[in-house]
Amino acid sequence: MSSHVSLTRHLIEEQRAGRINADLRQLIAVVARACTSISIAVGKGALGGVLGDAGTGNVQGEAQKKLDVISNEILLEANAWGGHLAACASEEMEHCHPIPDAYPRGNYLLLFDPLDGSSNIDVNVSVGTIFSVLRCPEGVAAPGDEDFLQPGTAQVAAGYCIYGPQTTLVLTFGHGTHAFTLDREQGAFLLTREAIRIPEETKEFAINMSNQRHWEAPMQDYVRDLLSGKEGPRGKDFNMRWVASMVADVHRILTRGGIFIYPWDRKDPSKAGKLRLMYEANPMSFLVEQAGGAATNGRARIMDIAPAELHQRVPVFLGSRAEVEAATRYHLDHD
Query: Residues interacting with ligand AHG, by CB under 6 A?
Result: 62, 116-119, 208, 244-246, 249, 262, 274
CB of 30 to ligand AHG, least distance (A): 23
**Residue 66 annotated as binding?**
no
Closer to ligand AHG by Cβ: residue 249 or 289: 249
- Residue (of 58, 34, 31, 29) closest to 276 by Cα position: 58
Closer to ligand AHG by Cβ: residue 155 or 245: 245
**Residue 230 annotated as binding?**
no
Closest residue to ligand AHG, Cβ-based? Answer: 246
**Residue 275 annotated as binding?**
no
Closer to ligand AHG by Cβ: residue 189 or 262: 262
- Half-sphere exposure at residue 175, Cβ-oriented, CA atoms within 13 angstroms: 10
**Residue 183 annotated as binding?**
no
Query: Please, which residues have CB within 8 angstroms of residue 126's CB and are 6 or more apart in sequence?
Result: 117, 120, 162, 163, 164, 165, 243, 245, 247, 248, 251
CB of 126 to ligand AHG, least distance (A): 10
Closer to ligand AHG by Cβ: residue 107 or 211: 211
CB of 200 to ligand AHG, least distance (A): 23
> Long-range contacts for 176-181 (Cβ within 8 Å, ≥24 apart)?
176/290, 176/291, 177/254, 177/287, 177/288, 177/290, 177/291, 178/10, 179/254, 180/7, 180/10, 180/32
Give 172's strand partners: 158, 177
CB of 327 to ligand AHG, least distance (A): 16
Closer to ligand AHG by Cβ: residue 119 or 124: 119
**Residue 191 annotated as binding?**
no
**Helix 22-44 vs helix 7-16: crossing angle, to nearest 10:** 160
Closer to ligand AHG by Cβ: residue 11 or 246: 246
**Residue 113 annotated as binding?**
yes
CB of 93 to ligand AHG, least distance (A): 15
CA dihedral 276, 242, 118, 320 (to 10 degrees): -40
CB atoms within 10 A of CB 209: 12
**Residue 117 annotated as binding?**
yes
Dist. CA 209–CA 180, nearest whole Å: 32
Binding residues: 91, 113, 115-119, 208, 274, 280
Binding residues for Mg(2+): 91, 113, 115-116, 280
Binding residues for substrate: 116-119, 208, 274
